[in-house]
Structure formats: structure tokens, C-alpha cells
């Protein structure tokens, strides 16, 4: 059996990177949601949440 430590460290770095990317994506989606809420506020059109669901589909 070999030493898996380097592989585990590589995987941990990848997990850390993906967690950062996920947080950035969440932040951007929240910003988009806020902007869409302003755009669609008071209209009978789609809600911001509905627009995001369509956009992500």
C-alpha cells in the first residue's frame, strides 16, 4: 500500500476551491435576485424567483 497523503491533500485543495466557487456563485445569485426584485417589483410579470428558476433550467 502506498502513501495516499499527497492524493488526500490534492482532494482537500480541490474541495476548498469548489467551496469557494460555490460561495461566490451564491453571492452572485443573491445579487442577481436583488436586482431582479427591483426590476420586477410592483409588476404583474414573473417574480425574480421565477425568472431565476427559468434562467437556471
Q: What is the pLDDT of residues 1-37, one digit of tens each?
A: 578 888 999 999 999 999 999 999 999 988 888 877 7
57 SS3 class: coil
Q: Which sequence spans correspond to the domains of the chain?
A: 17-56
How do the residues of the chain divide into helix, strand and coil, expressed in percent and rounded to 5? Answer: 80, 0, 20
pLDDT of residue 1: 57
User: What integer is the mean pLDDT of 29-56?
Assistant: 72
DSSP-assigned states of every residue in 15-30 = HHHHHHHHHHHHHHHH
Distant-in-sequence, close-in-space partners of 36: CB < 8 Å, separation ≥ 6: 48, 51, 52
pLDDT of residue 41: 65
**Residues of the chain above pLDDT 70, percent:** 75
Q: How far apart are CA 38 and CA 28, in angstroms?
A: 16
Amino acid at each position: 500500500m502506498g502513501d495516499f497523503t499527497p492524493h488526500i491533500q490534492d482532494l482537500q485543495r480541490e474541495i476548498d476551491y469548489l467551496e469557494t466557487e460555490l460561495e461566490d456563485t451564491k453571492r452572485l445569485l443573491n445579487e442577481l435576485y436583488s436586482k431582479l426584485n427591483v426590476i420586477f417589483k410592483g409588476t404583474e410579470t414573473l417574480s425574480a424567483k421565477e425568472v431565476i428558476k427559468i434562467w437556471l433550467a
